[in-house]
Amino acid sequence: MFIAQYLQSLSTGDLATDAKYIVGLLGVSTLVYIFCLAIYRVWFHPLAKYPGPLLGRITPLYDFYIAYGEKRAHHFAYMHAKYGPVVRFTPDYLSFNSTKAFEDIYGWKANVRKTDSMTSTQSDPETMSTFSEIHRVPALKKRKILQQGFSESALRDAEEYIVDQINIFCRELVNPATEHKKDMSLWLNYLAYDIMGEIVFGKGFNMLTNDKIRYILPLIDDMTFSMLLGGIIPSFHKWGLIDWIFPSISAGRMKFIKESEARVAARIAEGVSNSAGRKDFFYHLMKHRDPETGEPLSKKMLLTEGVLLITAGSDTTSTGLAGALFYLLKHPHCMKRLREELDSVFDTVEEIRMTTKMTKCRYLKACIDESLRMAPPGPGMSPRTVMEGGMMIDGEYFPEGTDVGGAAYTYAYNPENFTDPEVFRPERFLLGEGEPEPDVLRAKGSYWPFGTGVRKCPGMKMALQELYLGIARTVYLFDITSEKPEELKTNFEILDHFNVKKEGPWCSFKLREGRQLPSCRPVSS
């Protein structure tokens, strides 16, 4: 009655010419539509029975707002603590935090595909990378190509260049020409990107020794943050609204893509084997031929895979190393025990390689496992869409079209998976160290820093190789002092930018008595 009276009051003449009436009609209609849509989504939507924040159940703008605040992964953990094991955080998405749900959603037999939000992760809108490919069969096909660069022989070849970059890193830590107090998140980013440059292109970026190239780092962060924001509401990405809302982030993304295009073009110009004759990643990508057509990978595909390897591969290394250093400084007894283990296994720093000696370092592995749990690279949601026929998730049936997933941070801090999840305790992964056996087995069964199933990170072994060598050599060589003790009063803060944005720990380094710095080969350029 009120609406009818209001509309009548607006109409003063011919409806076709009464602009005030038309605008009022559109405004009221829009409000009525929004109100009805909200009522439907809260009480009558197929997912209405699942709890979650009210605004989230009404509009995905709630999730977009949370993501822009850089704590989306943390918010998932908060929502599960408040609402339980299944949370409806947008009108059409459900988040899970149980181990069984994770295995059901991401395991090899899961009847799911990646969601349409993956289009936001593509550096080229027309070309899907191994990561952004939505469907299982083509994703597996692309994955097989990448795995050639992660074979056992490729890992053995790569170790030489990984060690070279770690040696440069170690020398720069005590180089008097560099600042005494170092933000290790920055320095470990330099290391990680230099390693990936060597592995992917056969040439390091030289960030460790050349500050003029370090401008790339914020561009990469712009790239990944725009991927996150664009993926939450795919239409924003499709219509270019992300570019309009966040012009500086979009400009950084485009500049990084152009930088990558130039580097890829230069590498392609060298031919299958690079100028140094090395079998880098592009050697395997360019050598590949489609078994059915005999065609090589297109230039666009080479670009998308190159961008993927740089952005994804380096984050795991830098975040894992930064997290490990932070928690070892926060817990001196852990640092002491790790150093004693390394001193007992290795006689010189040059012995610290991926040999049988490294397998004796049980506590090193536990420290890295616990660091990756507490500061997981890629901490957020990896969404999936249930395919035809539906599927069971943690004992409950979900029909085709339901969007589901779980955030890595949520699983890592779920007390049902890990006892005292806020506490850094490497022993939780070691049998015979005083931890109850059921707790150790449960922790190992809930630990997926590299994912699982079809989409498990193909570069897991190489990332672990970098983490073992990086932490072992640094702790073996140096006395490490915290230069910002107040940051150690809390846990290591990571911000969810799809990848991780981070700061610290702030440290200074002094060569331990009796230790000698490793020699370095000339850097490639």
Which residues carry a binding-site annotation for heme? 457
What is the C-alpha separation between 378 and 496, in angstroms, rounded?
A: 7
Which residues are documented as binding site? Answer: 457
Strands 93-96 and 403-405 come out as parallel
Which distant-in-sequence residues (6+ apart) come within 8 Å of 25 by Cβ? 7, 10
What is the C-alpha separation between 344 and 328, in angstroms, rounded?
A: 19
Other beta carbons less than 10 A from residue 351's beta carbon: 13
What is the C-alpha separation between 517 and 466, in angstroms, rounded?
A: 18
Strand 403-405's sheet: what is its strand order?
A: 86-90, 93-96, 403-405, 384-386, 112-114
Q: Kindly compute the dihedral angle of the four CA atoms of residues 436, 441, 446, 448, in this order, to the nearest 10 degrees.
A: 120
Helical spans, DSSP H, in 233-298: 234-238, 241-245, 247-269, 281-287
Strands 494-497 and 478-482 come out as unpaired
Query: Measured in whole angstroms, how far is the alpha carbon of residue 384 from the centre of its chain?
Result: 16
Q: Sign of the C-alpha dihedral, residues 79, 84, 90, 91?
A: negative
Is residue 408 helix, strand or coil?
helix
For 185, the enclosing helix (H) or strand (E) is helix 184-201
Say which DSSP state 379 is in: -
Residues 307 and 300 sit within 8 Å (Cβ to Cβ): no
Closest CA to 342 of 355, 358, 354: 358
Q: Sign of the C-alpha dihedral, residues 502, 508, 514, 517?
A: positive
Strands 403-405 and 396-398 come out as unpaired
Is residue 469 helix, strand or coil?
helix
Token readout for 424 is 């850094």
Q: Sign of the C-alpha dihedral, residues 452, 457, 458, 459?
A: negative
